[in-house]
A and B are shown apart, each in its own frame.
Chain A
Amino acid sequence: MATFLNNPTIRGWVFQILFVLVLGWFVWDIIDNTSRNLQKANIAAGYGFLERTAGFGIVQKLVPYTEASSYGRALFVGLLNTLLVAGIGIVLATLLGFIVGVARLSSNWLVSRVAATYVEVLRNVPLLLQLFFWYFAVLRSVPGMREKWSFLGIFHLNIGGLHVPKLILGESAWMIFAAIPVAIAVMIFVAKWGHERQSRTGIRPPIGLINTAVLIGLPVIAFFIAGRPLHISMPVFTETGPLLRRGFQTDSGMTIIPEFLGLLLALSLYTAAYIAEVVRSGIQAVTRGQTEAAASLGLRPRQTLRLVVLPQAMRIIIPPLTNQYLNLTKNSSLAVAIAYPDLVAVGGTVLNQTGQAVEVVSIWMIFYLGLSFLTSAVMGYFNKRVALVER
């Protein structure tokens, strides 16, 4: 027996199994305890409430939703709203973050100081305050519901939000969307052919030009073949009639609500400051010798950055970048403070109407955990692609 336990492999296994058992039992005990306590306190439990009628309205919905929809549907609407603001926020924050990060290293004194100031100010003010600032600053400075600011005659801004033309898809509009993957496939083929041609003849065909034409051309051709199934609904602004009826009409155009704009602005500006630092440190971690070597080969500064420095910096940048994406997604839950109906805001209403606190909180946790896992997985894939392959 003693020799058996002295075997390190077996001992390792025994302790691992014991640990898993204890952990499993611990979790089970908590769940069991909670449900028994809930029962004792006469609090209804279970997820059956998700199918009951929600009965409340939501200001922004990406899928059809009415007051007659279920609580489950309401939570789904909230989830999509979270995804929307997080998705667009990540793109904007990344773009801005890279620009600021590179600008911070600029040899131009003014540019680098402006970038540094941006980072320091944005990083050091709590996000919730920035959120209130952007939301109420925007609300207080734009024209009221019955007035507007117009740009180019198609974009209109007032306190009700940004009013833009809306694309209405006809029945055969799927053909246009189907043309996009086809175009991408053609583009990949063209790129391969171009590279092969370049290494064979030394002449680089205008790949960029051809691909742009393909990307725009194919969907346009599909648009005409399908019988032009796209219509545009312009926002309609009424200036007469009773006061409540004036302003932008709800059934025309598309309205991007100010809550969304405020949240998006705050999240992307805030996270961009962190991303800028990530990018700066990543670039600075690439040894000077690389830049000098590139210069001695005759590459221009722009080429050096794009072809030599950034690819190497990406290896260092991507892991902390993932953190920032996760932060942005989780920070989007501050939305409820400015009435953006994200998962937490809608869930809060559901929680209050049904009183199912444990269930709703568990749904929140599962969704955010899932979102974070998804983000990590995608970024892990990119990380693998840029990671140094040791040979």
Chain B
Amino acid sequence: MNRNFASILVGAALALASVTAAGAGTLEDVKAKGFLQCGANGGNLIGFGATDEKGEWSGIDVDFCRAMASAIFNDPTKVKFTPLNAKERFTALQSGEVDVLSRNTTWTMSRDSSLGLQFVGVTYYDGQGFMVRKSLGVSSALELSGAKVCTQTGTTTELNLADYFRSNNMPYEVVAFEKNEEVLQAYEAGRCDAYTTDASGLYAERLKLVAPDDHMILPEIISKEPLGPAVRQGDDKWFTLAKWTLFALLNAEELGLTKANIDEKKTSDNPEIKRFLGIEGDFGTPVGLSGDWAYNIIKNVGNYGEIFDANIGPSTKLGIARGLNNLWSKGGIQYAPPIR
């Protein structure tokens, strides 16, 4: 009896000691399971990460994941989305619950250095703004002294808000909710004078108000919010793949490659386009992909400009101008290293 007990103990000891077994590379894992697990916005942020009545996902962040799936599988549908709130998102990525976090997340130094994750790049240059009722008679954020401000907790916005009001010596009161829905409801009920979040978010949330035209977004942008996808630290191959997925989207726009014309561009004499399409050189193999990885991205999802226009551009309900997010060659700051 005692011997049995001892052997159980030894067995338990071995089992516990092997808890720290390391997994294979993320790309191998993703290929093995046959789909990409993508952390997206669970708060229904129109234009970035949202689901419609049929449960179909859409948005810039969502399309980035589809682009990655296209690069890996040549199939944009091989993505499963995990809806995450602001608080859960990093833990979900750290713990391996998602392979990539694409959820309008601001790239900051502390997040890059101490959370065990790495930002891939910037899919959308954003900044924090304020929405107020037009009836308040305020035309600048500097007139918001003494205002009660609603926001979502667990984001960089609380910090920016505090910094802005402190540096301008204005008293304020912050009412911070866990979920976007409640922030909006409280703002609409009149609990707060202003609603603050990333400007893109404000445009999206305003659409959900009963009378969107009664509200305005103030011109001040009080922070830099470069939003982008992130991956776990320690898997450079996966990081490179994600990074170049984004660059491929930008380069395609710069080269004039679109979903519609990419097939006819196969006959193009432009060496840059030839490299992009995998006709010349092999850029896929080193990142663990096929030679036509970039072609697959554009064929399935479209280039950056197409994604922008389809989700948040001037022709959508959000109607956001390209602004900073235009290509560097067109007055914006979106710039991608070349594929060569």
Contact = CB atoms under 8 A, between A and B. Distances in A.
A250 interface: yes
Interface stretch (B87-95, B198-206, B268-276, B317-325): B87-95
Contacts of B143: 242, 244
Given A145-B190, A355-B111, A355-B114, A244 B136 contact: yes
Interface string A198-239: 000000000000000000000000000000000000000000
A357 B175 contact: no
Contact of A56 (B20, B137, B147, B174): B174
Nearest to A345: B153
- Determine which residue in B137, B150, B178 has the highest number of CB atoms from chain A within 10 A of its CB, and name it: B178
A59 B153 CA distance: 12
A5 B186 CA distance: 69
Q: Interface residue tally of chain A, by bracket?
A: 35 or more
Contact of B158 (A37, A40, A56, A132): A56
Interface in A104-140: 132, 136, 139-140
A55 B163 contact: yes
Given A29-B16, A41-B94, A244-B138, A159 B189 contact: yes
B91 A357 contact: yes
Contacts of A242: 137, 143
Q: Is the interface of A mostly helix, strand, loop or mixed?
A: helix
Nearest to A139: B189
Contacts of A339: 150, 153, 175-178, 182, 186
A250 B191 contact: no
Given A41-B234, A352-B87, A338 B94 contact: no
B210 interface: no
A136 B182 CA distance: 9
A341 interface: yes
B233 A41 contact: yes
A189 to B, nearest CB: 48
A44 interface: yes
B145 A244 contact: yes
B86 A352 contact: yes
B85 to A, nearest CB: 10
B116 A41 contact: yes
Given A55-B162, A140-B189, A145-B148, A352 B19 contact: no
Contacts of A67: 162-163, 166
B201 to A, nearest CB: 16
B178 A243 contact: no
B288 interface: no
A9 to B, nearest CB: 17
A72 interface: no
A347 B336 CA distance: 38
B110 A355 contact: yes
Contact of B190 (A22, A26, A144, A259): A144
- Nearest 6 Cβ contacts at the A-B interface: A352-B154, A43-B116, A355-B115, A41-B116, A44-B114, A56-B158
Given A59-B173, A339-B176, 4 more contacts: A33-B16, A55-B163, A59-B174, A145-B190
9 contacts: A22-B9, A67-B163, A136-B189, A145-B190, A159-B189, A159-B191, A242-B143, A250-B171, A338-B182
Interface of B: 2, 9, 12, 16-17, 19-20, 86-87, 90-91, 94, 110-111, 114-116, 135-138, 143-148, 150, 153-156, 158-159, 161-163, 166, 171-179, 182, 185-186, 189-191, 193, 232-234
